[in-house]
Structure 1
Amino acid sequence: MTWSDSTFGPDGPWHAVNIYMGANDTEIAMFPGGSWTSYVLLNTLCDNTTKISSYCYGDRAGLYNPDTSKTWDGDSVRLSPVNTWTGIQWGYTDAVSLDAYIYRALESIDVGGTGTSDSNLIAIKQGYQTYPGGNIFPLEVGILALGSPDINQTFAEPSGPPTNGTFVTSWLYEHGVTPSYSYGMHIGSPKFDIPGSLYLGGYDKNRLLGDISTQPINSGELPIEMLDISLGVVDGGSVWGSSSITDLMAKSNSSLQSGTNVAIDATNPYIYMPQSTCDAITAYLPVTYRSDLGLYVWDTNNETYAKLITSPSYLAFDFAKNDVNTANITIKVPFALLNLTLSPPLVEFDTPYFPLMPTNGTPVLGRAFLQAAFYGVHWSQGYWFLSQAPGPDDNFIKNIVSIEPTTTTISGSASSWKDTWASYWTALPSIAANNDSGTNSSSSPSSPTNASTSLSTGAKAGIGVGCGCAAIVIIFLAAWILIRRRNRAKQLTTSPPQGDPGHHLVSQGGAPVELDDSKPDILHELNHDPAFAGYYEKRNSGKSRTVQGPQSSIGQSEGLESGTTSRYELF
């Protein structure tokens, strides 16, 4: 498949593939990866821009005008929906609802220089998305379905013979263009110049690094059991003070302790998880939740943000390998890939965001996850495949391998995943983190460990030395305070003679010493001296007087008779 030179989406950017639709070969960019039905945006999408936006964003990827094609068939499939507004759902999440004016149709599609006929479509004349906060936004890019468990999709008409719709993948296989009814894809990342890779009837072996998991298809869905989500680093230190923080999927949600099924879905952009899981993940990140979008935006002023997206830090997803409970496979998504951009019309100006969205429905791993993962589908065998994909330092030399009709397993490259990111990462200068071997490892499932692990012997020794040093400092400090107090007491014994009315008597563990009122600076110094812990006395000549100290209110004398004495304690 040919990938577009342009990138798309107000929440990416994302790669899309080019197809040529109809007898007039209209070039259109579409997001690949759906099942059963393709969704094409018609030119009428731009007829009404007052409801949502004055600018028609769908123009960038290309819109289709069926009136210019002789091969467009919008009449044969008369099943519902037919020219009506309805709520539809492409992909396997309804976290963002989609309302559209649609009807079914059949049309020819050219892929890779080969034309296919009677592809099953849903034509969208008008449509918009409604985000969790209630804001509506226009559609921008259609969806290209890549098959289903059936070789064709048959529509039983109310009268007359049934109508058969095909898929580009099934048509090419049936006509001997590809060796099997299958495909392999890595969508890549425009931001890091990781090119997209999509082969029908095969795959690029160099896009699979390390372990590969094989599991069954469920109708058109690609499910896998997810066991946990964790945070980690490949090399160096961690902004979290730990090289691994696990048990994030099931935190505060005991129903997820034994794992949960998630769907892989390239037609949806985000990572869709239960609210409890989102809370557990974002508790460790400098992000703010935008309720109007249902998404999290990065706090770019927080110093942790820059460290995360430039260091070898990642969000890891642990799965049951090969649909069994005896081995695991982990896909690591670097935070560099999770620093995406929201742009108009979703926001007024470009905004870095973390592509995680809470959902009450099926957990789904969308394009944000698939930037770092390869997946392939063999519809005839009923299996699909998952593996780690390379980063931007890969040479992207192609090694195309056919998927045969009887293929049940596929193989990948022995290249190091870590090496494909090396020049883009700067390790944090902290305690040594667990090094990554460069490939995913399979192991028997184990109980998740807590974020705070037990201390090593070296760490305990370090703490002991630190406590000893602190004790020595405290002893010297106490001695210094004691010496200063004694020196202060000696200075006070040389003060003016006592006995005159109106003078202050100061005591610091000995006989009172009189201070002349004409020397307020001495009294002020005592009131501000943290080492002075005694008291002073005032002999009153018949008038009330109040004396205040800096460390507290140290007393008041009201209406004292001549010759009486008030004592004020400093504490």
Structure 2
Amino acid sequence: VPFAMTWSSTAFGPDGPWQAVQVNIGSPSQQVALYPAGTFRSHLLTPRICSNITLSPDTCYASAAGLYAVESSTTAVDTAISVPAAIDYTHGGLQVQGTPGISVLDQINIGVAIGSGNTIVVPNVTIGVYDDVATVYPSGSLYGLQVGTLGLGYLGTVNQSFTQLGLPSINGSLIPGYLEAANLAPSNTFGLHIGSANLKIQGSLYFGAFLGIEPVDDGKIGLIDLLDITINVIDGSSPFNTSTINNLLAAGNSSIGPALPVPLLPEAPYLDLPKSTCDAIAAWLPLTYNADLGLYTWNTNDPQYSQIVTSPSVLGFVFRKDQTNTENLTINVPFMLLNLTLEPPLVSKTIPYFPCNAQSNGRYSLGRAFLQAAFVGANWNANNNQGVWWLAQAPGPNTVSQSSVETIGDQDSSIASSSDDWADSWKGILIPLNSQSANTTASNTTSSSNTTLSSKTTLSSKTTNTSHELSVGAKAGIGTGGAVCGLLMISLCACLCLRKRSSDQEPSS
């Protein structure tokens, strides 16, 4: 039977709100909320981060998710492992500074098993603990990280083995591998949907299962090829002067080429893209660029703002579907999901923002902002421990995300499809515009973003304020036959999109 993680009733910032799973660590137990993310170890913040007057001068924001005091746990092993944990546990999703973490082992109570009702405690989980770690923004300001991560396993791995000169090896558990080995889950796998706290789309994290979607062929090893980013209007009249805007990924930047390989990083918040791409998108939206943060804030007084974030207008991410190069997959992210909130200490008062990070310094990735609208999962043991992973369109608020859970076997490399309809899952939430309510002024100006749209950016229609049928890009994301989503499945070798930097990998067994 698959194992379903429990999610915290609290959402976290300062750039979300974001949902996180809830666990209890050590003995006596310490309750902590964590973002499900990354390979190998989990990452936890300690109470000492609150005593850092630079990171927590007035308020310790990290305490909201819970902090882990290793010295208070009688089940912790904190002195036997000399291997430090890498500073940046966002793996390039944020610009991170601080001191390396300390490697420890401790038990994690991950919750109650489906069916049996038994509480499951995973012993000796590999953990990195941090006293001093912060994000650096373009202005040079430092802001302490506020939430740690729960590791999602690795290729064919049950234990992470730490070898030390002259001493016996020490094994730390990886949660999905342990669950399968202990017959507490059907496979060494995970399936994750971050969901949306704002729209009450419940997150889901299963070990041994994934949400049912349409299977496709094996793809290439490694990163996802992002081919384009588009703006589409799924239904009704357009708040732009067109129903579809293409070629935003490479607009004004010939160095990008035919594809941009990107990882998926649920440990990081933003859409980390080239500044030229962020500017090309922003040129169509009522946004202002905040150079101190490298992010864009919504101009809420512009009438187009409410039209865009409440209508079926989406940002489409077009991926190469498989290694044959013959098919694409589009994941549609409604702008309603990209109307997020900046909070203190990043800003003095809360403000809506668009999560395109224009200062990612060449380390491009898609973080939680994207994964609000997508499922991601992996079978670490498939293909003789080379692994497969899946990416799919996730439904909106009208679908119970746990309704189509698909159990995954040890060597399964494909999963069944769902009969859910993506458009129906947003019905009544995203309200189509009529010709009278749609804004007749296009937003491809430079007044808010100070950018110029490349001549390579193309429009599929020049018609203003007319009702359009579903665009080709939108159809690709929704799938055919009423299926909720398409599926991208990629074989894994030593590299996964939810990847660990080599500096944070230790030998495993």
TM band (smaller chain): 0.7 to 0.9
> Which residue of 120, 124, 137 maps to 1:131?
137
2:180 alignment counterpart: 173
2:302 alignment counterpart: 302
Partners of 1:34 and 1:51 lie apart in 2 by 24
> Which residue of 157, 160, 171 maps to 1:164?
171
**Local SS of the residue matching 1:330:** strand
2:346 alignment counterpart: 346
Tell me if the contact between 2:228 and 2:249 (Cα under 8 Å) persists in the aligned partners.
Answer: yes
For normalisation by structure 1, the TM-score amounts to 0.72
2:65 alignment counterpart: 61
Percent sequence identity over matched residues? 38
Does residue 153 (structure 1) correspond to residue 192 (structure 2)? The answer is no
The 5 Å alignment of 1:63-82 reads 63-80=67-84
TM-aligned CA deviation for residue 130 of structure 1: 1.2
1:375 alignment counterpart: 376
Q: Which amino acid aligns with 1:26?
A: Q
TM-aligned CA deviation for residue 398 of structure 1: 2.2
2:46 alignment counterpart: 42
Tell me if the contact between 1:35 and 1:147 (Cα under 8 Å) persists in the aligned partners.
Answer: yes
**Local SS of the residue matching 1:398:** helix
2:8 alignment counterpart: 4
Segment of structure 1 superposing worse, 45-54 or 294-303: 45-54
TM-aligned CA deviation for residue 162 of structure 1: 2.3
Tell me if the contact between 1:343 and 1:351 (Cα under 8 Å) persists in the aligned partners.
Answer: yes
**Local SS of the residue matching 2:99:** strand
Tell me if the contact between 2:84 and 2:101 (Cα under 8 Å) persists in the aligned partners.
Answer: no
Partners of 1:387 and 1:214 lie apart in 2 by 14
1:411 alignment counterpart: 416
Q: In the TM superposition, what whole-angstrom CA distance separates every residue of 1:144-164 from its partner, at most 9, and x where no partner exists?
A: 111012412222213312222
Partners of 1:20 and 1:256 lie apart in 2 by 44
Partners of 1:411 and 1:375 lie apart in 2 by 15
Q: In the TM superposition, what whole-angstrom CA distance separates every residue of 1:139-191 from its partner, at most 9, and x where no partner exists?
A: 21111111012412222213312222221111111111111100111111010
Tell me if the contact between 1:319 and 1:328 (Cα under 8 Å) persists in the aligned partners.
Answer: yes
Does residue 424 (structure 1) correspond to residue 424 (structure 2)? The answer is no
Does residue 105 (structure 1) correspond to residue 114 (structure 2)? The answer is no
Tell me if the contact between 1:213 and 1:329 (Cα under 8 Å) persists in the aligned partners.
Answer: no
TM-aligned CA deviation for residue 333 of structure 1: 0.2
> Which residue of 395, 401, 404 maps to 1:390?
395
Q: Which amino acid aligns with 1:290?
A: N
2:444 alignment counterpart: none
TM-aligned CA deviation for residue 217 of structure 1: 6.1
Tell me if the contact between 1:213 and 1:385 (Cα under 8 Å) persists in the aligned partners.
Answer: no
2:319 alignment counterpart: 319
1:147–1:371 CA distance, 2 compared to 1 (3 A) = same
1:244–1:393 CA distance, 2 compared to 1 (3 A) = same
**Local SS of the residue matching 2:276:** helix
1:94–1:321 CA distance, 2 compared to 1 (3 A) = closer
1:506 alignment counterpart: none
Partners of 1:439 and 1:62 lie apart in 2 by 38
For normalisation by structure 2, the TM-score amounts to 0.81
Q: Which amino acid aligns with 1:389?
A: A
Partners of 2:400 and 2:104 lie apart in 1 by 42
Partners of 1:167 and 1:214 lie apart in 2 by 26
Higher relative contact order (CA 8 A, sep 6+): 2
Q: Which amino acid aligns with 1:163?
A: I
**Local SS of the residue matching 2:418:** coil
RMSD: 2.0
Partners of 2:127 and 2:417 lie apart in 1 by 34
How many residue pairs get aligned? The number is: 431
1:501 alignment counterpart: none
2:190 alignment counterpart: 183
TM-aligned CA deviation for residue 347 of structure 1: 0.8
Q: Which amino acid aligns with 1:373?
A: A
Segment of structure 1 superposing worse, 330-339 or 359-368: 359-368
TM-aligned CA deviation for residue 22 of structure 1: 0.7
TM-aligned CA deviation for residue 299 of structure 1: 0.8
Tell me if the contact between 1:10 and 1:341 (Cα under 8 Å) persists in the aligned partners.
Answer: yes
TM-aligned CA deviation for residue 215 of structure 1: 4.2
Partners of 2:217 and 2:364 lie apart in 1 by 19
Segment of structure 1 superposing worse, 259-268 or 396-405: 396-405
Name the one with the larger helix percent: 1
> Which residue of 188, 196, 199 maps to 2:203?
196
Does residue 439 (structure 1) correspond to residue 478 (structure 2)? The answer is yes
Q: Which amino acid aligns with 2:197?
A: P
Question: Unaligned regions of 5+ residues in structure 1, if any?
Answer: 82-86, 444-571
The 5 Å alignment of 1:236-255 reads 236-255=236-255
Q: Which has the larger radius of gyration?
A: 1
Partners of 1:215 and 1:167 lie apart in 2 by 26
2:275 alignment counterpart: 275
Q: In the TM superposition, what whole-angstrom CA distance separates every residue of 1:34-88 from its partner, at most 9, and x where no partner exists?
A: 111211111222223355421111111111122221111111111245xxxxx72
2:501 alignment counterpart: none
**Local SS of the residue matching 1:322:** coil
**Local SS of the residue matching 1:422:** coil
